[in-house]
Structure 1
Amino acid sequence: MNKTLLTVEDLTKSFVLHLIDGRTITPVQAISFSIAPQDHLLIHGRSGMGKTSILKCIYRSYLATAGRIWFTSQLYGRIDLVAAHDSTILRLREREIGYCSQFLRVLPRVSALDVICEPLYRQGWARDAAQEQGRQWLRDLGIRPHLWQASPVTFSGGEQQRINLGRAFIAAPRLLLLDEPTASLDGETKQIVVHMIQAAQANGTSVISVSHDLAALGPCANRQLALA
C-alpha cells in the first residue's frame, strides 16, 4: 500500500516579467518533498521565496515549468498533476484537493451562507443539507447569524478570512492547501483555525500550509519545510 499522498519532484516555476524588461525570474527551483495521509507540512521562509507559488503549482493555478507532482487520487490512481488534463484537475478540485487563498474573492450579493456552501453544491449536495452544514460552520467560526444572508464583501478582513477558511474545510478534501490561514485573525480566532486543521487531519485530510506565523502554526505542524 502506498502511504504517500503527494510527492513533489524537482518542482520549478519561472515567470517572465513582460511589463518590466522581459527578464525571467525563478522563485521556485528544484523543490522536492512528500507528504503522507494526515500530515501537516508547514512551508515557511522570507517573502519572495515562492511559497505561494508552490501551492498554486500543486493546485494547478500555475503550470509548473519543470518537475513532477504525483498525487495518489481516489478517482484516478497515482497521477502527475503537472501533466493532467484540465478536466481532471477540475474534478480533483471538486472532490479531493482544496485551496484557501490569502484573500476572499466572491461575487457581490452572494450570501455568506451560499459562499461557504459552494463546495458542497459543486459536489451535488441537496441545498437544504448543504445549508445545514454551512450554518454549523458559520456558528463554529463565530459569524453572527444576522450576517449569514449578507455578502461577505461587506465584512471585516478577519470575518472574510473565516468565511474563506470555512469554504476550504467544509468539503473535507483529502489534500488541503492553505495560504497564510491565520493572516488578519486575532489570537482567539487563530486557535480556532489550529483546531480546524487538527480536526481535519484526524478525519483523514493532509494539509500543506504556507505561513510566516510560526508561533500559531508551528506547534500543530508535524513537518516543516524552510525555504532559504
Structure 2
Amino acid sequence: MIELKDVSKTFTLHNQGSAVIEVINNVSFEVATGECVALTGASGAGKSTLMRMIYGNYLTRAGSIQIGGLDMAQAEPREVIALRREVLGYVSQFLRVVPRVPTLAVVAEPLRMVGVAAEAAQARAQALLTQLNIPERLWTLSPTTFSGGEQQRVNIARGFAHAYPAMLLDEPTASLDSVNREVVLSLIEEAKARGVAIIGIFHDEAARARVCDREIDVGRFTPGVAA
C-alpha cells in the first residue's frame, strides 16, 4: 500500500549562504495493508520530515513514495489533494481548523468531502466524539476554544472519521489520560483489522509495542546521526 524507495531530502538555508543540509538519505521500506510501522530515532533524526514527505508537504530530493499507486514525489497538486481526500489520512499533533466552525462539522468534514450524506456524516462524527469523551455541550462550539487535550481528541476523531486505506499518525496518544489513550489505541487496532496501512511516530513505548508490527529507525538514514 505504501512504498518508499531511495528517498532523500535536503534543505537549503538561503539566509546562511545557501548552505545545503542533508536530512535523510536513501530511505526504503514498505507498509502492507493492515500493518502499522513506527518511525523511531533520536530527536532530529528526521522522523517528522519523513512523515511530511509522505504526506506531500515536503518535496523529495530523490526517490519515490508510492501510495495506492500514486508517486507523491512526482504527483501534481490536484493528485495530492485527491489522495489526501480519499486515500491518505493524517493525524498531526495539532488541530488546525477554520475559527467559528462547530466541532461536529469539523469532524464530519472528511466524510462530506467524499460524498457521504450529511446525516450519515454527522452520525459518525457524533459517535466518535462520544467515544473520545468530548461532551455533547461542546459539539456546537469551535474547537479553537478547547483545551489542548480536547483539541487533540477532536483531531483524532476527524482523522478516523473517514475509512482511509492509509494513515499517518504523529504522536496520537501524546498527553492523553489513560481512558482516552485506550480509546485511541483501540481505534488504531480497528483500523489495522480492516486493512489500513499505518505509519506512526509513537514516543509512548507501551503504545508502540501494542499497535506497531515493526519499527524503522530513521537514524540509520540520517547523515551524522548515530543509529
Q: TM-score, normalised by structure 1?
A: 0.92
Query: Structure 1 residue aligned with 2:54, among 55, 58, 72?
Result: 58
2:106 equivalent in structure 1 = 115
5+ long unaligned stretches in structure 1: none
Residue aligning to 1:32: 28
Displacement, 1:21? 4.4
Q: Which amino acid aligns with 1:154?
A: T
Gaps of 5+ in 2: 220-227
Query: In the alignment, which residue of structure 1 is the partner of 2:120?
Result: 129
Residues 1:209 and 2:200 are matched in the alignment: yes
- CA distance in structure 1 between the partners assigned to 2:138 and 2:162 by the alignment: 22
Partner-residue secondary structure (3-state), 2:14: coil
The letter for the 2-side match of 1:204 is G
**Regions of 4+ moved over 4 Å:** none
Deviation at 1:218, TM superposition (A): 2.2
1:150-190 per-position Cα deviation (integer Å, ceiling 9, x unaligned) = 11111111111111111111101000001111122122222
Question: TM-score, normalized by length of structure 2?
Answer: 0.92
Distance, in Å, in 2 between the alignment partners of 1:90 and 1:151 is 25
Deviation digits for residues 24-53 of structure 1 (CA, Å, limit 9, x no counterpart): 222222111101100000111111111111
Question: Counterparts of 1:93 and 1:150 in 2: how far apart (Å)?
Answer: 26
Aligned residue runs from structure 1 range 10-159, under 5 A: 10-71=6-67, 73=68, 78-159=69-150
Matched residue pairs, number? 219
1:20 is displaced (CA, Å) by: 4.2
The one-letter code sitting in structure 2 at the alignment partner of 1:156 is S
- 1: distance between equivalents of 2:125 and 2:149? 18
| In 2, Cα distance between equivalents of 1:190 and 1:59 | 24
Q: Secondary structure at the match of 2:84?
A: helix
Contact 2:2 2:197 in 1 (8 A): no
Residues 171-216 of structure 1: CA distance to partner in whole angstroms, max 9, x if unpaired? 0100000111112212222221111100011112111101222222
Q: What per-residue deviation string (whole Å, max 9, x for no partner) do you get for residues 7-34 of structure 1? A: 1011111112234443222222211110
